Structure 1
């Protein structure tokens, strides 16, 4: 028989307005530097987000208790995402019930996605792909590139009754975030929730993005001339060697028996592809919940979706330099949580021809960069 509830409101929680972490908010918002450290955004951006979410998370006071205001609900949620602290830890610091914190965070994460996704992570169309290609050519000197793509394992507490479904080849339980980034680190497409164990079985091929790419229903613009030349190629995504070579998906040449020309191509492709790596790095460093999520799978997916759309929201409100323009530094920082993709590797003749066309362009007078030979040979 279940014991009787000892308290309607625990004495610790009754002191929330006097001793809870939330009482520091006026001081935090008064200092923009503190606000950035606390919420990962400026005061103006926080207030903008509150204006968007507030009407949907407002609750009425009752005769028995005072409702938790929208500003506190949003604060708890952002602290959960920013710190990666457990629900129980946040419950103590904010003087709220454990179940209350869990409910607030899960509902607010869903709401953030619903409200922000249509504007800040919309379904790409031909116009957006074309704009992305312009960005990659002007910033990274890669023509007809419509995004860099990669996957990331997000550590997860073992879901109950899941066996080894989420156990990945790196030795921990995870879900996979598959994403495409533009030339400035903005996310264009996200596919979240694949089993960690599927990393060696073709996550990309099984994803909606992979299926739509193969079926030709991504609304990608038609083939186009490379600027300044008569060469014509399809618009392509760039990825690492773990992906399959497809007409619209370029990967490096195999490392064995590389010619100088192929090394140049690999360097130029990697230079463009680093945007998704840098974006994953920013996501993990800004939103520490990405380090490890201690919830069931569906709430974990909702948390990652909220983080992805918040990333684009912050880029729109507070633009930052996602990656250095310098090519002198060793920028490649692929983390231990990057995913492996081993889908179909049947590279068609068309795929190989497109890659060779780009290779020829990068080694031509029109397409070469002054430092590329030195960079790719070291």
Structure 2
């Protein structure tokens, strides 16, 4: 369990764990692919983990060794015994000279003299003569037979069965089929028996996005700053002179304190909050999105640029983004969703919640 706790410090593991907790029957199945070093890949795991094919495969194997995932043999692939490459080719070669330059040809066997040769050497179908004994062949099945066999264009040998050899394109080795190594290819599923243990380890889950140190660090506020913030929260229109008189300090001190609080990010902005419904913005909605982890940063960046989006945050779990939009009416909401949200890559809308009434609306932080 200690090893599992250590492994869970990787936030990418939690992206996978959270998906499995939400969809316990999810299966990671392999797909053959010549574009990968492995020869196969797990596309669903790659998307969730935002990893390449090799990294995702190693992660699935590691989780299997920790009993988080169970694995079952899905297929078997032959690989080179020397370099372990899957890029191998079956060669059909001549049993005499080893050449791969062979063809399929029709041959005739004359029963009486035993000659076996290419059919074209016996003449036309209507008049066949044996090139060895010069006798006419009259009835197929009685005095001769016709069959298809192989001919080596290098040494001229007629033969029925090729010798089979495997050739590795990566290292050039040649080997028999039974000398090839067999690599098992697995599918992976969540081990439901470990679910309670995983739930107990939720406290070890790391933050899913890196927070800048300047935002993460707590800034100590002295009593004057606390009183100053409280005054501005009650009345953002108060002038520096009004505040200075109330707090019994100079105007310059208040101006300097406000500028420093803005610069440090403690106060994000001093602004007028407009009631959207009073200015014709009747539709206020919260939209919950499920975005593929590999596209999350790109999609959030695009959402931030949309003027309709007034509130946007990344959330933990399968549904990983929440936004609030303010629009004129329900029709403009539909247009916004159809023209802007549905065009975002690897993004699925899971819920649209229209606000009917604000029972409480307060973003003030008590300090």
TM-score with structure 2 setting the length:
0.20
Of Structure 1 and Structure 2, the greater strand share is in 2
Higher relative contact order (Cα pairs below 8 Å, separated by 6+ residues): 1
TM-score with structure 1 setting the length:
0.19
Of Structure 1 and Structure 2, the greater helix share is in 1
Instruction: Say which one has the larger Rg.
Output: 2
